[in-house]
Amino acid sequence: MTDVTTLGEFIIEKQMDFPGSSGEFSRLLSAIRLASKIVSQQVNKAGLLSHIMGSAGAENVQGEQQQKLDVFANDQFIKALTKRKVVCGIASEENDDFIAINDSGSYIIAMDPLDGSSNIDVNVSIGTIFSIYKRITPEGTPVQKEDFLQKGTSQVAAGYVIYGSSTMMVYTTGHGVNGFTYDPGMGVFILSHPEMKIPQKGKIYSINEGNFYKSSTGVQEFIKYAQKIDPDTNRPYTGRYIGSLVADFHRNLIKGGLYMYPSTTSAPKGKLRLLYECNPLAFIVEQAGGKASDGKNRILDIQPTDLHQRVPYYVGSTEMVNKVEEFISNEDS
């Protein structure tokens, strides 16, 4: 055990990155770590537990079916963050409005507690995504909506947990990206992927191609470009789409690739949520040397106007994001 670094050790060591943070930020990350261990355990048992599997019978604010594990994960993260009094407020994809917690806290969190929930029942990787900001209203007063509507550039940390063939946590505090693999025997996350970097040129493209004819001509032309045979530019690219953003993103981060959820005729603003999904992964990808765009603008520069706002999303290897942006800008000319 001498050569390994646990997530707990890493958090304490890196607390120096946040002078004056008084340990509150470290305790916040520890609360996330705890909740993700509990969710990981339930995810691994999901096939056995009929009360966890399947629909909870309710719809969330966006009219989507909530799965029982969504509700469970949401509860676990809220509980861990509330009990430890480490945030003043939480915005969750699963709650209509933000939750005010502790007036004296200085951080807020936005989260997608269970991403890829349609994959739970079929034993495919799912995840949790989180994004942390300093509040902008004064400490000691109730948290306000404006504390959550900050640009992605203001994030102080962001991360995800992937519940896959093993459970991993990947996060950034703006000083690079590090990945930790969970050892269920020891009950600890161990630093397994230090200083992660995404390849500049990728070869994988990830999109729900069922939406081809619902997409703009620029996106359609890009897909045709990706499929074209051209050994000089390493094409055709490889198509990979899991339908769990976290899992698709994680693969592309490691191997190099592009994930796309464009606007479509049935979802004119795209499907993914700026606060809970796009901003945190945009922060991570930029810290790993990649790029995230809405097709025209940098994701992190978008001023949010609504908690559950959606945006078209293109994220991954810089050269691939540049290429799809080129096709999108050409469709206008």
Q: Which residues bind ligand AHG (CB under 6 A)?
A: 64, 93, 112, 115-117, 208, 243-245, 271
Strand, helix or coil at 258? Answer: strand
Nearer to Mn ion, 112 or 248 (CB): 112
Q: Strand 126-134 relative to strand 107-115: parallel, antiparallel, unpaired?
A: antiparallel
Give the residues lining the site for Mn ion (CB under 5 A): 93, 112, 114-115
In the list Mn ion, ligand AHG, none, the entry touching 147 (Cβ below 5 to 8 angstroms by class) is none
CB of 55 to ligand AHG, least distance (A): 13
Residues 24, 236: Cα–Cα separation, whole Å: 48
Helix axes 318-332, 217-227, angle to 10 degrees: 130
CB of 271 to ligand AHG, least distance (A): 6
Q: Taking a C-beta distance cutoff of 8 angstroms, is the pair 92, 276 a contact?
A: yes
CB of 21 to Mn ion, least distance (A): 29
Nearer to ligand AHG, 105 or 116 (CB): 116
Read off the tokens for 263. Answer: 């606007």
In the list Mn ion, ligand AHG, none, the entry touching 273 (Cβ below 5 to 8 angstroms by class) is none
Q: Taking a C-beta distance cutoff of 8 angstroms, is the pair 163, 125 a contact?
A: yes
Nearer to ligand AHG, 112 or 147 (CB): 112
Nearer to Mn ion, 11 or 278 (CB): 278
Q: Taking a C-beta distance cutoff of 8 angstroms, is the pair 59, 67 a contact?
A: no
In the list ligand AHG, Mn ion, none, the entry touching 128 (Cβ below 5 to 8 angstroms by class) is none
Which position's Cβ is nearest Mn ion? 115
In the list ligand AHG, Mn ion, none, the entry touching 91 (Cβ below 5 to 8 angstroms by class) is none
Cβ-proximal residues to 225 (8 Å cutoff; 6+ apart), any chain: 235, 323, 327
Report the Cα 133 to chain-centroid distance in Å.
15
In the list Mn ion, ligand AHG, none, the entry touching 52 (Cβ below 5 to 8 angstroms by class) is none
In the list ligand AHG, Mn ion, none, the entry touching 286 (Cβ below 5 to 8 angstroms by class) is none
CB of 58 to ligand AHG, least distance (A): 14
Nearer to ligand AHG, 105 or 152 (CB): 152
Q: What is the rounded radius of gyration, in angstroms, for the C-alpha atoms of the chain?
A: 19
Burial tier of 200 (Cβ tally within 10 Å: 0-12, 13-18, 19+): middle
